[in-house]
């Protein structure tokens, strides 16, 4: 005797669609992640804009955490802000403001919080601003001219320009948080590069950290960004 099944007991088609979309999303995520972490190659170079968009801005990480070439410096973003005085037309320039360390401390105080992602934003932006890769650099050193060389240079420049745009959006977002009622005119980012104390000298109280600075230009404040907090 054949069993009969009620059609209304079957899952709704939207469940199948949702499950398929979830599986495809996971598969695509792992493929892009794999291409991002394997040694740099022509395939990952060609897909670099997609990989940067997927991974670098919020999930920036590379193999420099490990030997033989571990990270040797800390990068800290600072900014100044120009504002119109509320009582007059005078322009006020703020002191230098650290816009990296508060996010790092927030992440260290609670790893299961939005700070875990927010603290990665400055690092991802800096990687974009100074974007470079070994394969492209090697090719450009061997082939100064040619259609492919121009395309590689154009792609690298586009990523760097996007990084600069994000840098000013980030500083504008932080300025909007610090001065919600202020009439902000311009923002001025600066990168401070601090040499890391070697592990072998961690107890040496006389060791000095070498500092270097990279100043960016003053640029107009972007009022369309949302506050970082």
Mean pLDDT by 10-residue block, N- to C-terminus, for the chain (229 residues)?
Answer: 56 85 91 78 74 65 58 87 85 94 88 83 86 70 73 80 93 94 92 85 83 93 91
**Four-CA torsion 119, 120, 125, 126, nearest 10 degrees:** 90
Provide the pLDDT for residue 32.
Answer: 84
Percent of the chain exceeding pLDDT 90 equals: 29
Tell me if the bond preceding 24 is cis, omega within 30° of 0: no
Provide the pLDDT for residue 64.
Answer: 57
- Is residue 30 one of the residues assigned to a domain? no
pLDDT, averaged across the chain: 82
For residue 97, what are the domain limits? 62-220
Provide the pLDDT for residue 111.
Answer: 78
- Is residue 11 one of the residues assigned to a domain? no
- Is residue 2 one of the residues assigned to a domain? no
- Is residue 25 one of the residues assigned to a domain? no
H-helix segments, 38-146: 42-46, 48-51, 57-59, 101-109, 115-118, 121-129, 134-142
d(CA 169, CA 129) in angstroms, rounded, equals: 13
d(CA 164, CA 64) in angstroms, rounded, equals: 23
0.75 exceeded by the pTM?
Answer: no
Provide the pLDDT for residue 216.
Answer: 95
Provide the pLDDT for residue 53.
Answer: 72
CB 55 within 8 A of CB 38: no
Residue 151 vs residues 33, 42, 140, 144: alpha-carbon distances, Å: 24, 13, 11, 12
Provide the pLDDT for residue 14.
Answer: 86
Pick from 186, 195, 187, 197: nearest CA to 213: 195
Provide the pLDDT for residue 121.
Answer: 87
- Is residue 45 one of the residues assigned to a domain? no
- Is residue 42 one of the residues assigned to a domain? no
Total count of domains within the chain: 1
């Amino acid at each position: 005797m054949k069993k009969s099944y009620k059609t209304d007991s079957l899952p709704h088609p939207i469940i199948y669609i949702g499950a398929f979309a979830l599986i495809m999303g996971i598969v695509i995520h792992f493929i892009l992640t794999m291409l991002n972490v394997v040694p740099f190659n022509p395939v990952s170079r060609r897909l670099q804009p997609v990989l940067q968009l997927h991974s670098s801005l919020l999930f920036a990480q590379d193999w420099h955490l490990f030997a033989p070439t571990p990270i040797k410096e800390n990068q800290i973003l600072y900014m100044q802000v120009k504002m119109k005085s509320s009582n007059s037309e005078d322009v006020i320039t703020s002191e230098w403001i650290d816009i990296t360390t508060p996010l790092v401390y927030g992440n260290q105080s609670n790893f299961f919080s939005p700070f875990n992602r927010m603290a990665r934003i400055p690092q991802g932006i800096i990687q974009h601003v100074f974007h470079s890769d070994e394969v492209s650099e090697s090719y450009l050193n061997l082939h100064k001219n040619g259609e492919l060389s121009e395309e590689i240079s154009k792609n690298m420049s586009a990523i760097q320009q996007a990084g600069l745009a994000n840098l000013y959006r980030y500083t504008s977002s932080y300025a909007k948080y610090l001065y919600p009622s202020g009439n902000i005119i311009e923002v001025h980012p600066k990168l401070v590069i601090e040499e890391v104390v070697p592990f072998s000298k961690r107890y040496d109280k006389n060791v000095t950290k070498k500092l270097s600075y990279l100043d960016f230009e003053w640029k107009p404040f972007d009022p369309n960004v949302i506050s970082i907090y």
